[in-house]
Amino acid sequence: MTDFDRPHRRFNPLRNEWVLVSPHRARRPWLGQVEKTPALALPEYDPECYLCPGNQRAGGVRNPEYETTFVFDNDFPALLPPAEGQAASSGLLTAEPVSGISRVVCFSPRHDLTLPELPLPAVETVIRTWADQTRELAERENIAYVQVFENKGEMMGCSNPHPHSQIWATSFVPNEPQIEQDALLEYHARRGGCLLCDVLDTEKAIGERIVVSNDDFTALVPFWAVWPFEILVISRRHFGALTDLDRAEISNLAGILKQVTTRYDNLFEISFPYSMGFHQAPCDGRPHPEAHFHLHFYPPLLRSATVRKFMVGFEMLAMPQRDLTPETAAQRLLELSPVHYRQAYK
């Protein structure tokens, strides 16, 4: 096997691309940008927050006094309903009209509780809300894909600290899920099986990159990870979408989400930033037996709460590159307490 202590590259079959790994660079000194640490504590309710219950949002809409999850159409949507008379262009400079719906899902009325700090039943409610929204949006005639995602923390561009996620339903299949769908379809056609089922079997046999697992889901640092503490969550059962989850799987997915995000927070004892999102089968009216439901976590922090990974230079112009090996990242996450550090100090 390749000597993983020396520079090497790893193949990502889910994207059909290579990743450069340079373990020796993890020892280099850091004199670059240092981020500010997140706020230590937030209030349970913020009268200035446009996501808190009863508060007014942009445009004058007032939130209800909600007591569980709360969903609304984004006041500043990236996508708009279909419009009459939109024309497409062709040739070298090509454009075409798109449409869709952008929604916001508040996790709870509490301004100060992120996913790892919510009780398990509340996380289950969030998942059921994502599934219900996926079902409702996927049934619309002009929707081909439903993307559920969360940006957590200022470092990831989150404009409001009230814990929430977003759902963008699009009239097309976006680039990232399309790349993966193509890889899954090609693997299915060539091997007659599922790429992610085989990845999961392989990783479970090796064991060294698995962070947490239960009867229905496994969270692991993928062999080809780009971000320092990237995690891929794969369902044990082969199915395509949030709408296919049964009751036990919802509970076990909630447990995995709490375990992963708790370990993230415990790593540097901060509210750990990340972008997270589900990849599921397109809802374009065609069968997708190759699709396998999974979840990506892309966290930027590298060495501490204030040093992040930047995708610049070689990463932008040549290929993805990382210093910390996936095996080391997985071991560090695995060794952390499953109890959230804020609860441990109480």
pLDDT tens for each residue of 18-69? 999 998 876 655 445 555 566 668 999 999 999 999 999 987 899 999 999 9
**Residue at 27 is within a domain:** no
**Residue at 52 is within a domain:** yes
Tell me the C-alpha distance between 116 and 267, whole Å: 13
| Predicted TM-score of the model (pTM) | 0.94
Q: Find the domain containing 190 and state its range.
A: 41-80+97-344
In this structure, what are the phi and psi dihedrals at residue 65, rounded to the nearest 5 degrees?
-80, 65
- Give the per-residue pLDDT at 31: 45
Strand partners of residue 192: none
- Give the per-residue pLDDT at 143: 97
First to last CA, the chain: 46
- Give the per-residue pLDDT at 37: 66
- Give the per-residue pLDDT at 48: 94
Per DSSP, the three-state class of 161 is: coil
- Give the per-residue pLDDT at 115: 97
Tell me the C-alpha distance between 24 and 172, whole Å: 42
Nearest to 149 by CA among 171, 172, 125, 133: 133
Contacts of 252 by beta carbon, 8 Å cutoff, 6+ apart = 214, 215, 216, 217
**Residue at 29 is within a domain:** no
The enclosing domain of 61 has a CATH number of 3.30.428.10
Catalytic center residues: 164
Q: How many domains does the chain have?
A: 1
**Centroid of chain to Cα 83:** 31
- Give the per-residue pLDDT at 307: 83
Per DSSP, the three-state class of 295 is: strand
313 φ/ψ sector (left φ>0, alpha ψ -120 to 50, else beta): left
Tell me the C-alpha distance between 87 and 56, whole Å: 37
- Give the per-residue pLDDT at 38: 64
**Residue at 320 is within a domain:** yes
Tokens of 10: 């790893």
- Give the per-residue pLDDT at 189: 94
Per DSSP, the three-state class of 61 is: coil
**Residue at 56 is within a domain:** yes
- Give the per-residue pLDDT at 30: 45
**Residue at 35 is within a domain:** no
**Residue at 89 is within a domain:** no
Q: Please count the CA atoms within 13 angstroms of the CA of 98 that sit on its side-chain side.
A: 17
In this structure, what are the phi and psi dihedrals at residue 146, rounded to the nearest 5 degrees?
-120, 115
**Centroid of chain to Cα 298:** 6
Could you say which residues of the chain have pLDDT below 50? Answer: 1, 30-31
Contacts of 305 by beta carbon, 8 Å cutoff, 6+ apart = 35, 37, 38, 268, 269, 270
- Give the per-residue pLDDT at 99: 96
Tell me the C-alpha distance between 243 and 131, whole Å: 5
Asked if residues 19 and 224 have their Cβ atoms less than 8 Å apart, the reply is yes
Tokens of 233: 């969550």
